[in-house]
Amino acid sequence: MKDTLVGGGSGAPVRRDPPRPDGAAEAARRRKKLITLTRPWLLLAPSLVVLAGLLLWPLIQVGKLSLQDYEVKFGGGVGTFTGFDHYRDLLTGDLLWQTVLPNTVFFAAACVGLTVALGTLVALLLNRLGPTWRLICSIAILAAWAMPAVTGTYVWIWLFQPQDGMASQIAGSLGLIDPETTNWFTERGPFYAIATLNVIHHGFPFVAITVLAGLMTIPKELYEAGELDGANAWQRFWNITVPTIKPVFLVVTILSTIWDFKVFTQIYLMPGGDGSNPEVYNLGVYSYIEAFAKNDYGAGAAAAVLLTVLLLVITIVYIRTLFRQGEEDL
């Protein structure tokens, strides 16, 4: 993307000040200009150093690593350049196309769709409630949001635990399953259904609160006019609410997509998710297992690069959306 902002630098139009006779004033002016030029960069420098050193540089390293066989020898690492072997293995294997990629994509799609839908419904609900109930519901939503991924995951495992988990017991007493023999976690359908519940529970509050903030900016007159024209609630939602706060929907959808593609903890902690059941691999878990369980850092890095490329594509969409919102200059 092109850098469109030019200010203060050499590209700025030179203002024609009347020539000054004494050199001291000229020096002061120059010093002032130098300060103007460097000040933002001095302020940015610490952050940029940290981001470059801990996010950007490792990203380059992971790219390099994906082209190597990396071995730990004598306490240090030795990389042997192997070209695109890891990518070839990854892209020609059945595991990626039949298990890893479908798991990653369908899971992310389900989570994003359901999170945004539920979050929007809850925002509409909150917008209708009186102050007391709105506060009560907001606090309940905050509780779901505040639950860390690790502890949230343990609670959902416990609820669906074979035999003594509450959901297993209820399903058993309704005659739907035999709680003694049914294990929800061994097949990828139920496994990912539970993971989806977990991710939605943790993720919809952000959407609800952000959409609510958007809803409150919509002028009431629009709805009154819509009602006069005979539009029902459904029509008012699609013809007034959605177009008015479309940017909000775009942002929460794209952010949720980015987050849900890289879900790791929630999968890794579930029974079998730590690699013991390859059926339930997603891209993040697969990469981690290859690197740390199989000590094949190169293969893990190749999977990590693939995930990064997927997310990069999504991020480009995100940035273009932000820019297209137009009126706010970035």
Partner 1 sequence: MTARHRTTLARRVGLPVAVVALLVFTLFPVYWMVSTALDPKALTRGSDVLPSGLSLEHFEFVFDKGDFGTYLLNSALVGLATIVAAGVLSLFAAIAVARFKFRFRTSVLIMILIVQMVPLEALVIPLFIQMRDYDMLNSLLGLSIVYIALSLPFAIWTLRGFVATVPKEVEEAAYIDGASWPRMFWSVLLPLVAPGLVATSIFAFITAWNEFVFAYTFMKSSDKYTAAVGIYQFFGENSTSWGPVMASSTLVTVPVMIFFVIVHRKLGSGLAAGAVKG
Q: How many CA atoms lie within 13 A of 118 on its CB side?
A: 18
Q: 148 near 186, Cβ under 8 Å? A: no
Torsion of CA 165, 167, 172, 178, to 10 degrees: -60
The residue among 23 and 326 lying less far from partner 1, judged by its C-beta, is 326
Which residue lies nearer to partner 1 by CB, 110 or 255? 255
Least distance between partner 1 and beta carbon 170 (Å):
6
Residues 253 and 116 sit within 8 Å (Cβ to Cβ):
yes
Query: Please, which residue, 166 or 176, has the CB nearer to partner 1?
Result: 166
Cβ nearer to partner 1, comparing 9 with 93: 9
- Is residue 80 helix, strand or coil? strand
Q: Which residue has the tokens 């949001």?
A: 145
- Nearer to partner 1 among residue 91 and residue 233 (C-beta): 233
CB of 21 to partner 1, least distance (A): 27
How near is the Cβ of 307 to partner 1 at its closest, in Å? 5
The residue among 320, 125, 317, 124 whose CA lies nearest residue 214 is: 124
Which 3-state string (H, E, C) describes 176-196? Answer: CCCCCCCCCCCCHHHHHHHHH
- Taking the complex as a whole, the smallest distance from the CB of residue 19 to partner 1 amounts, in Å, to 26
Q: How far is the CB of 181 from partner 1 (least distance, A)?
A: 15
Could you give the dihedral angle defined by the CA atoms of residues 323, 63, 58 and 304, in that order, rounded to the nearest 10 degrees? 80
Nearer to partner 1, 23 or 75 (CB): 75
At 74, the amino acid letter reads: F
Q: Say whether 254 sits in a helix, a strand or coil.
A: helix
- Minimum Å gap between C-beta 239 and partner 1 is 18
**At closest approach, how far in Å is the CB of 94 from partner 1?**
22
CB nearer to partner 1: give 105 or 255: 255
CA 283/CA 304 separation, integer angstroms = 8
How far, in Å, CA of 140 to CA of 271, rounded?
A: 28
Whole-number minimum distance, CB 198 to partner 1, in Å? 9
Report the distance separating Cα 76 and Cα 291, nearest Å.
16
308-330 in b/e burial notation, b at 16+ Cβ within 10 A?
A: bebbeeeeeebeeeeeeeeeeee
> Which is closer to partner 1, CB of 24 or CB of 42?
42
Would you give the distance in Å from CA 29 to the centre of its chain? 47
